[in-house]
Structure 1
C-alpha cells in the first residue's frame, strides 16, 4: 500500500511536523489535518476570538479541499476540537449560518465535537479536521 502526503494549493504553513493531507493510493478518501486559525503568511488570526477563528479555520479547510479538487460537499466527516464548553453554542451558531450554503440539501456530514484542555499553541481555541472523498 502506498501512502502519499501532500500540501495542496490553499494550504497554510504547518504549525508543526505534519502535512496537510494523507492519501492512500487507489483510495478516493483524503485525510485532512486539523486546520487552525493561521493565515497564508503563517500568522495566528483572532487570538481569543472564536468567530474570527471559526472563519479562518473553515476558510483554511475549504482552501485545502478546493486545492484537492473538491468542495465542502466532499466532506465525509469532521472532527472538531475546541478548548471550552463556552464555545459550543457559538460553534453551533456559526455552523447554522454557513452549512446551508455548503450543504443545500440540508444533509450534513457527521461531526465529532471534543472539548480539549488545549491545542498546539495557547492562542488557538478551535481546530477542525476532515475526511474528504475526492
Structure 2
C-alpha cells in the first residue's frame, strides 16, 4: 500500500504527490521550487542547490536521510550545466554514491527550470 509523504512543498491543486512511500521505498521527483510555489530561475548552481535541498527535506519528512538514497535520475536542459550540477551534487552526497543517470533533455514542463531529479530511497523503519 502506498503512503503519501507530507512535504514542505506546495501543490495541493496539482494532480501529483511530491513523495510516495511503499514497502520501505520512497519515490520522489524534485524541481527547483520554493515553498511559496515560485521557481528558482538563477544559474544551475542555484537551481541544483534548491532541488537537492528539497530532496533532502522530503527524505527527512519520510524518516530517512540522503544516505538512504539508492538511485538518482538527473534531467538537465543543457549539457553545459553538468559540471555545475555535479559540484552541487557532491555537497549533498558522499561515497558510496547512489546509482545515477544524467540525461540531457530538450526542455522541462516547468518554465525556466534547468533541472529535475527523480530519486529512490530505501527508508529503514
TM-score normalised per structure 1 = 0.82
* Structure 1 counterpart of 2:59: 65
Report SS of the residue matched to 1:61: helix
Instruction: Quote the offset at 1:107 in angstroms.
Output: 0.9
Report SS of the residue matched to 1:77: strand
Cα distance in 2 for partners of 1:35, 1:112 equals: 15
* Structure 2 runs not aligned, ≥5 long: none
Cα distance in 2 for partners of 1:16, 1:118 equals: 20
In the TM superposition, what are the counterparts of 1:1-134 in structure 2 within 5 Å?
Answer: 2-4=1-3, 6-10=4-8, 12-14=9-11, 16-24=14-22, 27-32=23-28, 34-45=29-40, 47-96=41-90, 98-99=91-92, 102-103=93-94, 106-134=95-123
Count the aligned residue pairs: 122
TM-score normalised per structure 2 = 0.88
* Structure 1 runs not aligned, ≥5 long: none
Report SS of the residue matched to 2:6: coil
Change (3 A) 1:7 1:29: closer
Computed over aligned residues only, the root mean square deviation of the Cα atoms, in angstroms, reads 1.7
Report SS of the residue matched to 2:17: coil
Any idea what the Cα deviations from partners look like across 1:77-115, whole Å, max 9, x if unmatched? 10110001111111222223x04xx43xx2101011111
Instruction: Quote the offset at 1:3 in angstroms.
Output: 2.9
Instruction: Quote the offset at 1:132 in angstroms.
Output: 0.9
Cα distance in 1 for partners of 2:82, 2:63 equals: 30
